[in-house]
Amino acid sequence: MQVHDIEVQSWSELMDALFHDSWSRGLQRFRSSYVYRGLEDKTYDLTSTLNRLGESHLEKHLLRNFRKYSQIEDENKSIWNWLALAQHHGLPTRLLDWTYSPLVALHFATANFLHFDKDGMIWAVNYVDTKEYLPDQLVSIIDAEGSHIFTAEMLDRAVSSIPELQTLKKEDFAVFFEPPSLDQRIVNQYAVFSMMSNPNRTISEWLSTTEVRYFRIVIPAELKWEIRDKLDQSNINERVLFPGLDGLARWLKRHYRDTRQKDMRNGLPHRETFKDKQKKS
């Protein structure tokens, strides 16, 4: 499917774009079937930490040793719960983080002020459409539940190991599933994970070969400080999304950043905002 790129030039245009295609005719409600991922640089691809490691064959060793040294009782713990826990704590996995909340995705696209000189990107993927590409074993489970997205428990009914996932279907496919509520961070971020059956394939590559609806929103660098300030006022920030002292410190560090100062890396002033340009014209 041809990707739909949306260019925005204001906060109001951005809000409209984030909720693009969210009307559900069947429900007669604004209930989006999309999940969102925010990137601080639009040139970044949808690569998992395992993709970036470049050694997908290490996946089983990474997870085995994570389980061995974690000192967590694993009685009756699903392999998918273990995978979600490992991802949550920074282990390289095939999982990719998404959120049901477009505003949370927007936070991650604008959280690092050192990258405010780069255009950002929001990816939005219709997870309901991905069902058409699932193997029959997974389709029967999700249909029986009357759901559009998996839980770890649902996945465990069909697949008990990660390598087994790729054997379910010859063609590559993507699975979206909700992690267990491991802590308040997972809950507050409204988190969803995706994973490819083939760990060497990125979901962005796969999407381009399917009829799954997806779109991208380009966030101009000039708009990032306005977005950041309005998200903070809306209580979408590190203090909420990363509960605890670390999140609080990260929020305060950025919140009190003086934008009137020159850029710390290259000595250049911050780029003009759209409002500045409008005043000059």
Return the percentage of the chain with pLDDT > 70, whole number.
90
How many other CB atoms are found less than 10 A from the CB of residue 274? 14
Assigned domain for 16 exists: yes
Name, in order, each residue with C-beta under 8 angstroms of 87's C-beta and a sequence gap of 6 or more. 49, 93, 95, 97, 179, 193
pLDDT in tens, 10-21: 999 999 999 999
Domain with 214, as residue range(s), is 4-235
d(CA 120, CA 224): 8
pLDDT in tens, 122-171: 999 999 999 999 999 999 999 999 999 999 999 999 898 899 999 999 99
Q: What is the DSSP letter of 243?
A: T
Structure-token pair, residue 216: 């991208």
> Is 280 a domain residue?
no
**Cα of 104 vs its chain's centroid, Å:** 9
Q: Is residue 254 part of a domain?
A: no
What DSSP string runs through 138-157? HHHHHHHHT-SSEEHHHHHH
Residue 31 counted as domain residue? yes
Q: Is residue 245, in this structure, part of any structural domain at all?
A: no
Strand pairing partners for 97?
193
pLDDT digit string (tens) for 94-106? 999 999 999 999 9
Rounded mean pLDDT, 182-203:
93
Let me know if residue 166 belongs to a domain: yes
Tell me how far CA of residue 142 lies from CA of 1, 18, 126, 219, in angstroms: 24, 27, 16, 35
Look at residue 242 and tell me if it is in a domain. no
Structural domain count of the chain = 1
Decide if pLDDT at 270 tops 50: no
Is residue 246 included in any domain, yes or no? no
Q: Rounded to an integer, what distance in angstroms lies between the CA atom of residue 191 and that of residue 195?
A: 14
Instruction: For residue 25, give both structure tokens.
Output: 């005719």
